[in-house]
Structure 1
Amino acid sequence: MILPASDSEEERTSILVVEDEILVRYVICDYLRDCGFHVIEAGTADEALECLRSHKDVGVVFSDVRMPGSLDGIGLSQRVRLLYPHIPVILTSGHLLPGETDGTPLMTKPYVLGEVAQKIRAILDGGGDSSTSNSEAV
């Protein structure tokens, strides 16, 4: 089930999805676009930092932890916190538990698509999480 965009804020704010597995990235980016978000894609943390330099409208970074390149997702989260402290980061991993991410929120894989969209909306709205009825997992 695709959850419609809740307000025009999502249309002005970009979500930066950082995922090296192309099929996983395709599914989550396509879903978020269907939900009304503007999505920017990156395959590595280095690409993500380049995107952050060139796109001033990024509202949330949604990043895998394990990626090739000079930084993993945790390193990216630390760099974003240092350079762009106003941009929240959500990490995702099938290998870590929430306490293992330096305090950055973690969604474990496989994650439910609707929960990702709701978590992003909650962050953009400055609120907490809400539950979902979506059962599609990635």
Structure 2
Amino acid sequence: MPNPTIIFVDDDFICNHDICEILNRADFTVVTAYCAAAALDAIATGDPLSGLVTDIDLGPGADGFEVARRARAAYPDLPIIYISGTAAGRHPFEGVSDSTFLSKPCSPQQIVAALNRAIRLEAT
């Protein structure tokens, strides 16, 4: 069985790189995006996806909430995990349903655990 493929979106290069390394070691295939436009391009390919992890504040352009809405439009049951140090209060109002929110700073292990829970729940 192939590794689950996820898109990881964070405009902080160091954070993105470090977390993606851990996700790869945890047997995820990671598509890395540093902005909303790159994430939306990755979603538009139509390749099979098992999850999306996105920061909320992604700089100019769309935010993580918009990325998640577009991902859910393309993949209705896609597990979504938001990570942010500033948007916890917005998640209940702007986040897609059945999504998870992790406050930054969060450890890569917390992200791995949240993905494993979300993907396992989707598989049942």
Pairwise TM-score range, normalised by the shorter structure: 0.7 to 0.9
Structure with greater Cα Rg: 1
1:124 deviation in Å?
1.0
Q: Distance in 2 between matches of 1:69 and 1:119?
A: 27
Structure 2 gap segments, 5+ residues each: none
* Structure 1 runs (4+) greater than 3 angstroms displaced: none
What is the RMSD computed on CA atoms of the aligned residues? 1.7
- Where does residue 51 of structure 1 map in the other structure? 42
Alpha-carbon separation, structure 2, partners of 1:55 and 1:39:
15
**Long gaps (5+) in structure 1:** 1-7, 128-138
Q: 2: CA distance between counterparts of 1:67 and 1:75?
A: 11
Letter in 2 for 1:32: L
Say if 2:55 is the partner of 1:64: yes
1: distance between equivalents of 2:63 and 2:25? 28
**8 Å CA contact 2:43, 2:74 repeated in 1:** no
TM score, norm. by length of structure 1: 0.77
Q: Identical aligned pairs, as a percentage?
A: 23
Alignment partner, residue 124 of structure 1? 119
For residue 55 of structure 1, report the CA deviation from its aligned partner: 5.0
Counterpart in 2 of 1:131?
none
